[in-house]
A and B are shown apart, each in its own frame.
Chain A
């Protein structure tokens, strides 16, 4: 197989898919690091974000790119609201109960999407977009935007976590929650801030999956396993690790069809997850032990 064919049909789609996984995995890693539980509603929150953007597109007739920030705000408030109503209420209970409740939230979010938008497959824009050719690399504009947007969003988050007072407080809470409390960090504010950021990341992840493929009520749920695999592969609690993990899982899924039947593509994430848990449970970059 010629090299350019590999790049165009396997590597580039892998990087695009990986960018979408990365956006989700960063959110998962934040919840895991700071709030210390596996958030199973993550994928369905992404679905909600994707459909919220669709709602803005159909009601106001604007470009999907205008709808993205609106969907981010909707998801941020949704995530904060879910926390206030459910997770916060359970915060004193064993973590497994919170995890299970997030599974319930996942089903609720999916049901809301199905009630409001139906169960049919939707798209943001009709028609087929042909890829452009850049020095032999064939790529669509929306794919370029997906990759750039992922790096910009994660870059802004990274800068926020490294340079600002509240970003450092979030890292402190992830690092040593007891000491963060002793230093006067307000747990509730950090929790709200985290959910706001997680909502934004979910919306972005769902939106980019939707714009590159289609919108389906199950779209986020099917992303959940690859996103978790990416977060664990990168090292739980490590934002940069989640990006690397997301890209690896995305590329591995897309290139796997060279070796195994396409129906087993989704099993790649599972295989990677198993392998990393066996070989290096702390992830590529040293993360928290699960």
Chain B
């Protein structure tokens, strides 16, 4: 990203931009939108900077997943801007957004069941031309379980392994921003811890990650930053530790 592009980003009232330093990967400003005519998002501001895990928490229906889908072009954005790597991608089609370095792991139906693990990863690299063996090797290093079972049909795997396939598929394009929609939903504690650990490792390797998570306490504990959404707009924001310590947040969303 050029310095000019940074300068062109809207200087918003969003306090987060002043509070945290680092190169911004994603900046959402006043995003409004929804599936039909009604706006589910009523003006959402968010920022993810380089090498950072940002967690979105909030009650059911707060618009957490919707915010993520808005970034990925899966719903109508009617207002605001979504700047990724210096370019406003609001209104782009998902396949163009993928090429722009954003990969998305949906909460459900996030694997090709009738295809092998290996083919799932190959599909992740569909847009890439040339050799993908290096990325394959990287994903298999991250998820050794998958390498062993690379010829197994993804639909026959356990829930945790499926989630690994889904994340592996998204990583095949070497994205700069990874969107994870409730990656630990329905997983055993063992797998949940494993997914969280991989998420941390990815961050340490230089990736920026935006995470929607129901296990808010566990996720905020290692998140660099958290946003609490309610009724389609920002309610609270802060570092993971700050949010965990906030009494209102704890009472409302973290189950006391």
Binding site for B on A (CB under 8 A): 165, 168-169, 171-172, 174-176, 178-186
Does B126 lie within 8 Å of A183, measured CB to CB? yes
Does B119 lie within 8 Å of A183, measured CB to CB? no
Q: Which residues of the other chain, B, contact A179 by a CB distance below 8 angstroms?
A: 106, 109-112, 123
Q: Which residues of the other chain, B, contact A182 by a CB distance below 8 angstroms?
A: 72, 94, 98, 104, 106
Does A181 lie within 8 Å of B126, measured CB to CB? no
Known: A168-B122, A183-B98. A175 touches B114 (CB 8 A): yes
The tally of CB-CB contacts under 8 A between chains A and B is 59
- CB B236 to nearest CB in A, in angstroms, measures 30
| Chain A CB within 8 A of B95 CB | yes
- Closest B residue by C-beta to A181: B94
15 contacts between A and B (CB under 8 A): A165-B126, A168-B115, A168-B122, A169-B123, A171-B112, A174-B114, A175-B112, A175-B115, A176-B113, A179-B106, A180-B123, A181-B95, A183-B123, A184-B98, A184-B99
- Closest B residue by C-beta to A174: B114
- CB B44 to nearest CB in A, in angstroms, measures 21
- CB A28 to nearest CB in B, in angstroms, measures 18
Does B98 lie within 8 Å of A178, measured CB to CB? no
- A175–B99 CA distance with the chains assembled, in angstroms: 22
| Chain A CB within 8 A of B169 CB | yes
Q: Which residues of the other chain, B, contact A168 by a CB distance below 8 angstroms?
A: 115, 119, 122-123
The 7 closest A-B pairs by CB, nearest first: A184-B127, A184-B95, A175-B112, A175-B114, A184-B98, A183-B126, A172-B123
Q: Which residues of the other chain, B, contact A183 by a CB distance below 8 angstroms?
A: 98, 123-124, 126-127, 169
- CB A113 to nearest CB in B, in angstroms, measures 37
- Closest B residue by C-beta to A180: B123
Interface size on B, residues (CB 8 A): 22
Does A175 lie within 8 Å of B113, measured CB to CB? yes
Best-buried of A171, A174, A176, A178 by chain B (most CB within 10 Å): A176
Q: Which residues of the other chain, A, contact B95 by a CB distance below 8 angstroms?
A: 181, 184-186
Best-buried of A165, A171, A172, A186 by chain B (most CB within 10 Å): A172
- CB A162 to nearest CB in B, in angstroms, measures 9
B105-159 interface (Cβ within 8 A of A): 106, 109-115, 119, 122-124, 126-127
- CB B130 to nearest CB in A, in angstroms, measures 12
- A168–B169 CA distance with the chains assembled, in angstroms: 14
- CB A100 to nearest CB in B, in angstroms, measures 27
- CB B103 to nearest CB in A, in angstroms, measures 8
- CB B115 to nearest CB in A, in angstroms, measures 6
Q: Which residues of the other chain, B, contact A175 by a CB distance below 8 angstroms?
A: 112-115
- A179–B169 CA distance with the chains assembled, in angstroms: 10
